[in-house]
Amino acid sequence: MRAAALGSGAVVVLGWPWAAPRYFVFLASLIAINAIVAIGLNLLTGYTNQLSFGHAGFLAIGAYAAAILTIRAPLVPLPATLLAAGLVTAAMGLALGVPCLRLEGLYLAMATLAFGFVVVEAILNLDWLTRGNDGLRVPAARIGPWALTTDTSRYYVVVTVAALLILAARNITRTRTGRALLAVRESEIAAQASGVHLAAYKTLAFVVSAFYTGVAGGLFALVVGFLSPDSFDVFLSVDFVAMIIVGGLGSILGSVMGAAVITTLNDSLAGFQSYRPLVFGAILIVSMLFMPGGIASALHKIQPRQGDRA
């Protein structure tokens, strides 16, 4: 049953570029990128209860790092560029995460919100590096002899990276580390009393979350091909929060589904820009009031767990 679901899922994902029109291939790439961010954010918010409204800032750092590296050093292969984007962003996550250890709840939310604003201002002011408001055009990336010029080739890169990061996240959450993170979420003091090094695990969550988002930023630069500061405003951070709320806090599968729902919705509302926030606000309120566990827990209720079956 499980294997069949996984298998058919894999067939759909791999066959997608042949079945779907070109634009939907691009859209699927965006979903995969947002899924990576949502997983990263969920590791932070869903697992250690640290709410961030600054993930658009992390995405921007990863995207600009990858774009500038591609422009300045065209010979660096794509995997190295993506890794570099992730590491640069993870370093920023460390720089923000350590001082933020003292904050919790709404204080942390506001500090990360402010971080997001400061990143956008920094991109505007560092125009010798980022070209400020004019935006930055990203040249096609290369893997060895191949230049990634088609939506399909970029789609496969994005999906491969997403699959690797999903597997990694599942491994993190199912081991001692994941259990420690969950313990931090349930009660910081109880976790500490059980021998969980609070500061270390909360910082780790910040760094891993920033790394995921940075890699996603690198993929964003690759897929979209053009970066400008206004693509990374605070509303993007709100979108990311909406993804994990709708999908389910503390669930990897939920993050992916939340990313798919919100990205598709965003795209279908593109022609109705003035109604978009109205719909998104309503979704946030309704899912908080009536579906607090998100799609993931709703699915759990419908489908009995393996142990429950006779």
Partner 1 sequence: MGEGAPLTTAALAHVVVSGLATGSIYALMALSLVIIYNATRTLNFAQGEMLMISTFVGWTALQLLRAPLLVALLVAVVAAALLAWVLERTIIRRAISATHFDVLIITLGLSLMLRSAAGLLWTHDEFPFPSFFGSRPLGVGAVRVAPASLGIIGASLALMLALGALFRWTRLGRAMRAVAQNQRAARLMGISVERVYSASWILAAAVGAVAGVLIAPVVFLSSQMGLVAINGFTAAVLGGFGSMPGAVVGGMVLGVLENLAPLYLPASIKHSVPFLVMITILIVRPGGLFGRVAPRKV
The window from 12-20, 60-68, 214-222, 288-296 that contacts partner 1 (CB under 8 A) reads 288-296
CB 107 → partner 1: shortest distance, Å?
A: 6
Q: Which of 7, 15, 77, 105 binds partner 1 (CB under 8 A)?
A: 105
- For residue 134, the 8-state DSSP code is G
Q: How far, in Å, are 48, 97, 309 from residue 33 at the CA level?
A: 22, 23, 36
Q: Which of 7, 174, 275, 303 binds partner 1 (CB under 8 A)?
A: 275
- Does 269 bind partner 1 (CB under 8 A)? Our answer is no
Cβ-based nearer residue to partner 1, 3 or 289: 289
**Which residue is associated with the tokens 């090094």?**
197
Near partner 1 by CB under 8 A: residue from 76, 91, 124, 140? 124
Take residue 127 and report the two structure tokens written for it.
Answer: 């125009």
Q: Please say whether the beta carbons of 101 and 202 come within 8 A.
A: yes
CB contact at 8 A, 239 and 266? yes
Which residues, numbered 200-219, are part of the site for partner 1 (CB under 8 A)?
none
Binding residue for partner 1, selected from 238, 257, 295, 296, defined by CB under 8 A: 238
Is 77 an interacting residue with respect to partner 1 (CB under 8 A)? Answer: no
Residue 245 makes contact with partner 1 by CB under 8 A: yes
For residue 111, state whether it binds partner 1 (rule: CB under 8 A): yes
Q: Does 12 participate in binding partner 1 (rule CB under 8 A)?
A: no
The contacts found for 152-158 with CB under 8 angstroms, 24 or more apart, are: 152/17, 152/25, 154/29, 154/222, 154/223, 155/16, 155/17, 155/25, 155/26, 155/28, 155/29, 155/32, 156/17, 157/78, 157/219, 157/222, 158/29, 158/32, 158/33, 158/219, 158/222, 158/223
Please answer whether residues 55 and 211 qualify as being in contact, where contact means their C-beta atoms are separated by less than 8 angstroms: no
Binding mask 34-63 for partner 1 (x = CB under 8 A): ---------------x-x------------
Q: Which stretch binds partner 1 (CB under 8 A): 60-68, 100-108, 139-147, 155-163?
A: 100-108
Q: Is 199 in the site for partner 1 (CB under 8 A)?
A: no
Q: Which two tokens stand for residue 198?
A: 């609070």
Whole-angstrom distance, CA of residue 60 vs CA of residue 240: 13
Smallest gap, in angstroms, from Cβ of residue 227 to partner 1? Answer: 20
Q: Does residue 284 touch partner 1 according to CB under 8 A?
A: yes
Question: With binding defined as CB under 8 A, does residue 118 bind partner 1?
Answer: yes
**283: burial class by Cβ within 10 Å (0-12, 13-18, 19+)?**
middle
Question: Is residue 283 involved in binding partner 1 (CB under 8 A)?
Answer: yes
- Interface pick for partner 1 out of 133, 149, 187, 194 (rule CB under 8 A): 187
Is the Cβ of residue 79 or residue 293 nearer to partner 1 in the bound state? 293
Q: Which stretch binds partner 1 (CB under 8 A): 83-91, 113-121, 203-211, 224-232?
A: 113-121
C-alpha to C-alpha distance for 259 and 32, rounded to whole angstroms? 8
CB-based burial, 36-55: b 16+ in 10 Å, e otherwise: bbbbbbbbbbbbbbbbbbbb
Q: Which of residues 216-235 bind partner 1 (CB under 8 A)?
A: none
